[in-house]
Each structure stands twice: as C-alpha cells, then as structure tokens.
Amino acid sequence: MPYYKKIIRIFTRDRISFFLLIINYTFIIFIIYNFAELVQKIRLEEEANTPYEYQKNIELIANDMYNVNSDTVDEIISLGEEYSRYNTRLILYMPVGDGISEFQVDICFNPEELTRESVETFLDTENKNEGVYIGESILPYTFSENDKTFIIIAQDIYEVKGIYQNSSAAGNDQRIAVSYYSLTENGKEKIESKLKENLGMEMYVSFMLGSDEDISTAFAEFGDRLNSLNISWVTSENEVDASYQNFWYKTLNRLSSAGMLIFAFLDCYAVTTMWVMRRKREFLIRKALGAGVTDIIKVLVKDIIKYMIVSVPLFMVMELVYKKTYGEDFNVGEYELLKYIILTAGIFVVFLFSLIGPLISIHKMNPAEGLGGD
C-alpha cells in the first residue's frame, strides 16, 4: 500500500469523527487562542497602568481655534507626547463658521517611529515600486540630489515620485501627516500655516506623532495638564472620556471570552465523549486483550495529537482571516511568550479534562459483557 494512502487511512479511519473533531478542535483552539490574547492584553494594560485597547478616542472640544499660533501647535504636540505610546486618537472638535460644521484635528499617536509601512498605512504616501508618494507635510524632510527628490524613512532612502496636495480619502477631508520624530521648526511652521490656512473650512488634520518619553509618568499627570492648558480647550463638560467605553468594552470582552472558553470546554467534552463512545467496541477489544488505563490514554492522546496536526494549521488560517477582517495585527509584540504558554496550557487543560469522563466510562466497561455471549 502506498505511503500516502496509509496516511489518508490513518486520518479518515472514522470519517464522521474525523470531520466533527477537526472542525470542533479548530474552533476550540481558536477560542483558546483568543482568550490567551485577551489575557496578554490585560497584562499589557496592567503594565502600562492604563487601558490597552486597540484604539482610544479622546475627544476635546476647542472653543476657539481662530487664534491659532505656534503655541497651539506646541500644545497639540505636547498632548501627543503624552499619548504617544498608545494607539490613541486625539480628536479636537472646533465649531466653525455658523457652528454647524466642525474643524476636526485628528491626532493619531503612533507608538513607533515613522516607518515606510506606517506612512503608507496613513494614506499619506503610496508605495509604488519605483518610489514613494508623500503628503505635502513631509516635504520639509525631503532632500534633493541630481534633480531628484528623496526621503529617508527609517534609514531607508526612497525616491519621491509625487506629492499629494491636500490628499483626501473622503471628500472634504484634508490630511496632514507629520512625523514627530523629525519635527523641526520648519515642520512646526508648516502645521501652523496649514491650520491657519484652513480655518473656517471643514477640515480634518492628522498628526502622526511619536515619542520616547516615559508615558506612565506623563499619563499620570494628564488630568493636571489638561486643566492647566492655557488655550481655550473646554475639557471638563465636553471631554468624552475613553475610560467609560473601556470599562464596558473590557468587561464585555472578558465576559464573552470567559463564556466562549466555557463553551469551548463543554464542546470539547461533548465531542470527545461522542468520539470515544463511537469507538466503544474498539476499546472493549483493547481491554479484552489486556489494555490498561495507561494504554487507553496513550491511544487517545496519540489520536488527539493526530487531529491537532490538521486542526492547528486550520486554526492558523482561521485566525489570519479573522485578524484580516478586523484589521488587527497578528503580532501584539510583548508578552508573545505568555500568550503561547496560555495557549498550550489551555489546550492541554481543556483536552485533559475532556478525557476524564470518557476514560471513566471506558474503565467501567466490562469486555466480558460487551464482547462475549451468543
């Protein structure tokens, strides 16, 4: 018999169990993995002493942006510094003209140094094979040589192929992207003039900022800083504190994850029990031939591992699709190890516990009754 056929036989011995188990195990691993990720996130939150969610909106209403000056820019930037470690958006709303339109400054604090990818995802530049397209706000950081324009992004030199003027994704949006890392006086002026230029218009300004400052100290002082701002941000009544959302979001997230985990456990238990009961005769035969509990455990664990070999890659595909749909990164960075330890331990515990019931019932089976007789 050819080798591949043997392998197929091993997996499809009991086709119903095979498909049922593969599907269920894949989901179970998926659920445990996402639970592990949540635990990882919680650890990160504790580490930063602040809610860690994918995005946090802090909305401030600015009464008066007509007096935009370089102080305004400084304030915006210093606010940015304080949040720069988080995936945070600081949105400044300002009534414009008749008060119906609004001027929105949307500051995305990018925790990382400006990289080609971060620039690209920010819609400001567009990757072309021959070079990059950049937004006009990064123009100050370009340099020219031999009639060509270049920009250094994260130590790589790219040729600038084109410049977007007020590039916009949706109608009246106008974006400026600024790399705080390389912000110079020139850059500050650029922002200032951009703000002034567009006063009275509907506008959407994005700042991309980064910082090395120790954020836990900066964040602790954030409340004081807000109150002491000398420009006319109205913060107290109109500030939409993100923490309310975080609390419910977090609680819901944790509850549903715990619920899913229980569901996964019950599912695993039911499926494993069914699977073992389908094989009752086989185990009776094994017992009759002298198999002890350890022999049975060996058989079961071996088979579970076999199913895992199929389930784990399936889970990976599923996770990838899931992450892609939600636009999340596969990589959360720190605490990767913790996540994988929880994943492995979780799978181990769930499968081990799901084996207890079936093992007891196998242990109770009497081969003399199941097999003998006329």
Ligand X SMILES: Nc1ncnc2c1ncn2[C@@H]1O[C@H](COP(=O)(O)OP(=O)(O)O)[C@@H](O)[C@H]1O
Residues 6+ apart with CB under 8 A from 236: none
User: Between 351 and 370, how does the x/- string for binding to ligand X read (CB under 6 A)?
Assistant: ------------------x-
371 binds another protein (CB under 8 A): yes
Interface pick for another protein out of 171, 327, 333, 372 (rule CB under 8 A): 372
Report the nearest approach of ligand X to the CB of residue 368 (Å).
7
In the block, tokens 């198999």 appear at 291
Say if CB 227 and CB 235 are below 8 A apart.
yes
Q: 214 vs 369, which CB is nearer to ligand X?
A: 369
Report the nearest approach of another protein to the CB of residue 268 (Å).
22
Report the nearest approach of another protein to the CB of residue 362 (Å).
12
User: What residues pair up with 91 in beta bridges, in sequence order?
Assistant: 59, 106
374 binds ligand X (CB under 6 A): yes
Sheet-wide strand order for 148-153:
126-128, 131-135, 156-164, 148-153, 142-145
Q: 290 vs 333, which CB is nearer to another protein?
A: 290
**270-275 contacts: CB < 8 A, separation 24 or more?**
271/20, 271/21, 271/24, 271/25, 271/354, 272/351, 272/354, 272/355, 272/357, 272/358, 273/354, 273/357, 273/358, 273/361, 274/17, 274/20, 275/17, 275/20, 275/21, 275/358
333 binds, among another protein, ligand X, Mg ion, none (CB under 5 to 8 A by kind): none
Q: 220 vs 368, which CB is nearer to ligand X?
A: 368
Residues 6+ apart with CB under 8 A from 42: 52, 254
Interface pick for another protein out of 256, 292, 312, 360 (rule CB under 8 A): 292
Interface pick for another protein out of 290, 325, 330, 331 (rule CB under 8 A): 290
373 binds ligand X (CB under 6 A): yes
User: What residues pair up with 90 in beta bridges, in sequence order?
Assistant: 58, 107
User: Between 315 and 354, how does the x/- string for binding to Mg ion read (CB under 5 A)?
Assistant: ----------------------------------------
Kindly list the residues in this chain that would bind ligand X in the complex (CB under 6 A): 369, 373-374
Kindly list the residues in this chain that would bind another protein in the complex (CB under 8 A): 1, 9, 13-14, 279, 281-282, 284-293, 295, 366-368, 371-374
